Amino acid sequence: MATKDIKSIQKCFEILSAFTTPQSSCLNVTQIGQITNIPLSTLYRYLQTLTVQAALNYDSQSNQFSLGPLMIKLGTIAAKDIDIQLIAKPLMQKLRDEVQETVYLTGLVGQEAICIEKIDCKNSVRYIIERGDIFPVHASATGRVLMAFLSTEEQEKIIAQGLKRFTEHTITDPVELRKSLQEIRERGYALSSQELGQGGMAISAPIFNSQNKIFAGLSIAAPVDRFRKKNLLQFNELLIQYANKISGLIGYNPESSRKINSNQKS
């Protein structure tokens, strides 16, 4: 690689590093120039490239830049769930072998669930999911199972941002969504069918951490026809069992959780 290219990459990293403190999460061009000591004439070119690649967001109203979805996605995959990936993967492989369908693991970032691990089924026709894929929390089984165990305040913040419609099956009514979240908490799993696109169904169960908080979602996905033919809903107890095993391995204590809930009610 040419020396000029290496220097350009270094400058891009310097720009991205400028956003690494809470005080510098949003910066204008002048501020970025002061932090990086990159001349403005050159800086504009780098900022344009980073924005096009979604590494940065640009707000035309405030004339400020912030870290973009690419950086959020990479950060989530690289840092958030390395341990749970290692812990969950062997159990995900066993679950895949039992149900013969794709199994995947997601974590919550803002209003989106991001796939952090997946085990493909062995069928030539399968519902394709990749690491880094994003699922809106209101419009997917894995998203709603994460949303269902957030606080009411956090749920309402998500609802207030708007419920985008992706297909005719997407839940866009806040009342209907709240009802769905309550049902998920009561039965312990979420189900979705063709809410993001045509042809796919999924069932998801929650994974909790040592603080008894929602940490991830474990899901099974398959094409609609095969999902219905195999009646994968029969696997809901199996899915919940595997999700509970993973929860236990990362420190979740269901007895402690029940005591907390009991105290909250009293």
Instruction: Return per-residue pLDDT of the chain as tens, 266 residues.
Output: 456 677 888 889 899 988 866 566 789 999 999 999 999 988 999 999 999 988 999 988 889 998 888 877 776 555 454 578 888 999 999 999 999 999 999 998 877 889 999 999 887 766 778 888 888 899 999 999 999 999 999 999 999 988 989 989 999 999 999 999 999 999 999 999 888 878 788 999 999 987 888 999 999 998 888 877 667 667 888 999 999 999 988 888 776 554 334 333 43
Q: Boundaries of CATH 1.10.10.10 in the chain? A: 3-67
Coil vs helix vs strand at 161? coil
Q: What's the pTM? A: 0.65
Q: CA–CA separation, 104 vs 226, rounded Å?
A: 17
The beta strands (E) that lie in the chain are given as 26-27, 56-59, 64-67, 102-109, 112-119, 134-136, 190-193, 200-208, 214-223
Question: SS3 for 68?
Answer: coil
Which top CATH class is 3-67?
A: mainly alpha
Taking only the tens place, the pLDDT of each residue in 33-92 is 999 999 998 899 999 999 998 899 998 888 999 888 887 777 655 545 457 888 899 999
Q: What are phi and psi of 110, to 5 degrees?
A: 60, -120
Q: Is residue 150 exposed (0-12), middle (13-18) or buried (19+ Cβ within 10 Å)? A: middle
- Cα–Cα distance, 51 to 54 (Å, whole number): 5
Residue 52 phi, psi dihedral angles, 5° rounding: -60, -35
Location of structure tokens 């510098």: 24
Please list the residue range(s) of the chain that carry CATH number 3.30.450.40. 76-265
Compute the half-sphere exposure of residue 34: CA atoms within 13 Å on the CB side of its CA.
Answer: 6
CATH of the domain spanning 76-265, picked from 3.20.20.30, 3.30.450.40, 3.30.1490.100, 3.30.70.1520: 3.30.450.40
Q: Do 256 and 143 touch, CB atoms closer than 8 A?
A: no
